[in-house]
Amino acid sequence: MKKDKQRGFTLIELSIVLLIISLITGSIVAGRSLIHSSRISALMQDINEYKTATNAFILQYNGFPGDITNATDYWPSLTSVGPQNMGNGDGVLQWETFTKETGLFFPELSLAGIIRGNYTFPTGAEWRLGVHMPETDFKEITLRPVGENRTELFTGVGYFSNIDGGGNSALTIITYQDPYAQNLGGLTPKDSYNIDVKLDDGMPGTGNVIGGKGFPGHVMPDCATSHSQGNMNVATYILDETDPNCVLGIILN
């Protein structure tokens, strides 16, 4: 009785299979890259939206959102926040463990009808996405208002220091870990550079977009070649670092 011969794949057939696999793999990688790029673009749109909203609020209410002294005259519901957390009118966001004026930044913008969504004043340090601060297209990344100057954003020394202002008000792009908004990097240096170069000067230590170092208590790689105050004007983003270690600060005033 004649036995059937088992035939293996030819080199041409194997080549076709490998080509199909490589095409599928390449499509997946390209798709992920496109999704990531679209999220970066959406994040930049969010930044521009909140910068524009802040300026519109200042024109309409003669003060910074969260800092105006007569917020309860416009929105009586804010009376429950307590006078200790209301604005003092000094032009800079005051914060202490993420409450005080920073906690009123997004609620006042939403109550004024200038931004989408409804936000409320946080209780203690428990900030929640979509409740006290906006969500972004990135999972666990948000925009958090702080009162810190460029040096503090760049060096990381100001985080959790309970300072009163610091000369500037900013939105920081950070990793959010429910229920706390941690001072951990949210973006890679490459992503931070791409945002910085499009919105500002492409330098982490100068201009109005600052590539900051995370809270010193957390062990994480640096965002820039140096986070020393003396090197602010010459530091550059570490573009070959792939960890999301940049706390990007957007100066609003």
- Buried (b) or exposed (e) across 202-238, using 16+ Cβ within 10 A? bbbbbebbbbbbbbeeeebebbbebbeeebbeebbbb
- Number of neighbours of residue 70 by Cβ within 10 angstroms: 12
Query: How many helices (H) and strands (E) are present in the chain, helices listed first?
Result: 5, 5
pLDDT tens by residue, the chain, 253 residues? 555 555 666 777 777 777 787 777 766 655 677 888 888 999 999 999 999 999 999 999 999 999 999 999 999 999 988 888 889 898 888 766 556 888 899 999 999 999 999 999 987 667 788 888 888 888 778 888 887 778 878 887 655 443 444 567 888 887 655 555 455 677 889 999 999 999 999 999 999 999 887 665 555 678 899 888 889 999 999 999 888 888 888 998 8
Strand partners, 43: none
Q: Are 246 and 211 in contact (CB under 8 A)?
A: yes
pLDDT value at residue 216: 54
108 closest CA partner among 147, 137, 77, 152? 77
d(CA 131, CA 117): 9
pTM of the predicted protein model:
0.81
Three-state SS for 112?
coil
Query: Domain spans of the chain?
Result: 23-251
For residue 182, report the phi and psi dihedrals to the nearest 5 degrees.
Answer: -80, 155
45 closest CA partner among 130, 137, 121? 137
pLDDT value at residue 52: 95
pLDDT value at residue 56: 97
Q: What is the DSSP string of 171-220?
A: EEEEEEETTEEEEEE-B-HHHHHHHHHHHS-S-TTSTTEEEEPPPTTS--
Q: Are 85 and 94 in contact (CB under 8 A)?
A: no
d(CA 233, CA 187): 21
List C-alpha distances in Å: 22 to 13, 17, 33, 97. 14, 9, 16, 50
140 closest CA partner among 204, 94, 185? 185
